[in-house]
Every structure is written in C-alpha cells, then in structure tokens.
C-alpha cells in the first residue's frame, strides 16, 4: 500500500490542533464521471466519503466509489486518500491545495494503476479555478495536467445554475488532449443535495463503450 507519504501529514494535522469537525457524505449517481469521462462504463455508482477538518485549515479524508472501465480483467473499486490545506488571501479570494492518492482494487492480473495527484484551487465569489497535476498518471510514467473552471450561482432561492469547462493534456495525452463541458442545475430538498447536468466532450476518435459519450448526469447525495 503506497500510503507512507500520507500518514505523517495526517498525524501532523491531528497533533497541530485540538478542535476538529468530522463529516461524511453518501452519493448515488447514474454515471461516475471524472474529467468528463465515465469511470463506470455509463453505469450507476454509489459513493461515500469521510472527512475531517481542523480550525487551522488542514483537512483530510477518504472517498470511495465502484468503477468499471469496460475490460474483462478490471478494477471494481476506487479508493481515494487526501490531505490538504485551505486558507484566505482576501475577503473574497480563497484557495485550497490537496494531495490525493488514487487506489484501484479488483485487478486479478497484477495491474497497478494507482497514482498521486496534486490539486490547486482558487475561489472568487461564484467562480472556482482548478489546476491538477500527476507526474506518473495511472502508473504509466507519463505526466498529465487538468485545467478547469466552474461557475455556480443562484437563479432562485432554491436552485443554482452550474457551468463547467475543463481541459486535459500532458504526455499521457499526447495528441489526444481534450476538453469537457457541462451545464446543470443543483439544489437541496428534504435534506438531500440534488443535481442534474448535461455533459459533453471532444475526445478524439470514436466514442468508446459509454466511457466518453455525451450524457445527462443525475446525482443525489446526503451529508451527515
């Protein structure tokens, strides 16, 4: 288990402060999408997370989901571990830096596609900008980059409109870089967070086994 880098960071967070807030979320979605591409071959996913946040801005957590990449000998479970720090630059601008480790379980042939990623986010009013980088994407030896912008704003007292644009590139996507887009609505009702969105992308070549088809994504989640 390649998690030796994570334990010192979590222990440091735990010892640095006394006050901590623990939360958890369970989510159901009709298709698990990552950077616009399905991780479940277009099938539904059940996801869950446990998070801890400290008063000094340090946070850590674990997140999991079923996956299906469409191969006969394939991963069936993704587990992500993360630790990060969030803070404010001004009254209107904040930021977060998160280190992730993505683990994939279920391969029976010894395949290892686990990898680490660093995410940097900036927040200004209703706008979020993300830069993600991995120097050994899916244990391939090649790097990848992801740039994204998300804008979410209220259109009624209960409903938000959500806009997203992302760009995937790097050595792992040489001559295959692509963009992904979505537009959707989100809100809360009866203690549930609800969203619906239309997703599209310009992945080069023919669409492959529902992995990168355009889709309408429905998501229901509950936080505790």
What is residue 167's predicted lDDT score, i.e. its pLDDT? 98
Burial class (CB in 10 A: 0-12, 13-18, 19+), 133: middle
- Secondary structure (DSSP) of 110-137: -----EEEEEEEEEETTEEEEEEEESSG
Pairing of strands 37-38, 115-124: unpaired
Query: Cα(first)–Cα(last) distance of the chain, in Å?
Result: 29
The three state secondary structure string of 2-66 is: CCCCHHHHHHHHHHHCCCEEEEEEEEEECCCEECCEECCCCCCEEEEEEEEEECCCEEEEEEEEE
What is residue 13's predicted lDDT score, i.e. its pLDDT? 46
Average pLDDT, the chain: 91
Pairwise CA distance, residues 81 & 164, whole Å: 24
Nearest to 177 by CA among 159, 203, 151: 203
What is residue 60's predicted lDDT score, i.e. its pLDDT? 98
What is residue 205's predicted lDDT score, i.e. its pLDDT? 62
What is residue 29's predicted lDDT score, i.e. its pLDDT? 98
Is the model's pTM score more than 0.75? yes
Contact 152, 163 (CB under 8 A): yes
User: Around Cβ 46, how many Cβ atoms within 10 Å?
Assistant: 12
Q: Is the dihedral of CA 131, 224, 94, 160 positive or negative?
A: positive
Span 25-57, pLDDT tens digits: 999 999 999 999 999 999 999 999 999 999 999
- What is the four-CA torsion angle of 223, 84, 9, 99, rounded to 10 degrees? 110
- Between 3.40.50.360, 2.40.160.40, 3.40.50.970, 1.10.167.10, what CATH number should domain 6-223 receive? 2.40.160.40
* pLDDT tens, the chain, 224 aa long: 344 444 445 444 444 445 799 999 999 999 999 999 999 999 999 999 999 999 999 999 999 999 999 877 789 999 999 999 999 999 999 999 999 999 999 998 889 999 999 999 999 999 999 999 999 999 999 999 999 999 999 999 999 999 999 999 999 999 999 999 999 999 999 999 999 999 999 997 655 556 778 999 999 999 99
What is residue 3's predicted lDDT score, i.e. its pLDDT? 47
Nearest to 37 by CA among 138, 157, 161, 154: 138
What is residue 113's predicted lDDT score, i.e. its pLDDT? 96
């Amino acid at each position: 288990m390649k998690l030796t880098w994570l334990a010192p960071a979590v222990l440091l967070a735990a010892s640095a402060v006394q006050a901590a807030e623990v939360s958890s979320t369970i989510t159901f979605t009709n298709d698990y999408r990552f950077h616009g591409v399905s991780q479940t071959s277009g099938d539904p996913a059940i996801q869950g997370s446990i998070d801890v946040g400290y008063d000094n801005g340090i946070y850590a957590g674990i997140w999991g989901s079923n996956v299906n990449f469409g191969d006969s000998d394939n991963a069936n479970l993704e587990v992500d571990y993360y630790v990060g720090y969030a803070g404010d630059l001004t009254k209107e601008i904040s930021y977060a830096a998160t280190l992730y480790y993505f683990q994939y379980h279920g391969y029976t042939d010894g395949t290892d596609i686990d990898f680490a990623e660093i995410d940097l986010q900036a927040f200004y009013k209703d706008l979020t900008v993300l830069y993600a980088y991995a120097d050994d994407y899916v244990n391939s030896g090649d790097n990848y980059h992801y740039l994204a912008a998300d804008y979410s704003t209220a259109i009624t007292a209960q409903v938000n409109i959500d806009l997203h644009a992302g760009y995937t590139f790097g050595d792992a996507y040489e001559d295959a870089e692509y963009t992904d887009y979505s537009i959707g609505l989100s809100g809360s009702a009866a203690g549930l967070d609800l969203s619906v969105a239309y997703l599209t992308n310009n992945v080069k070549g023919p669409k492959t086994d529902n992995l990168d088809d355009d889709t309408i994504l429905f998501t229901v989640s509950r936080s505790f």
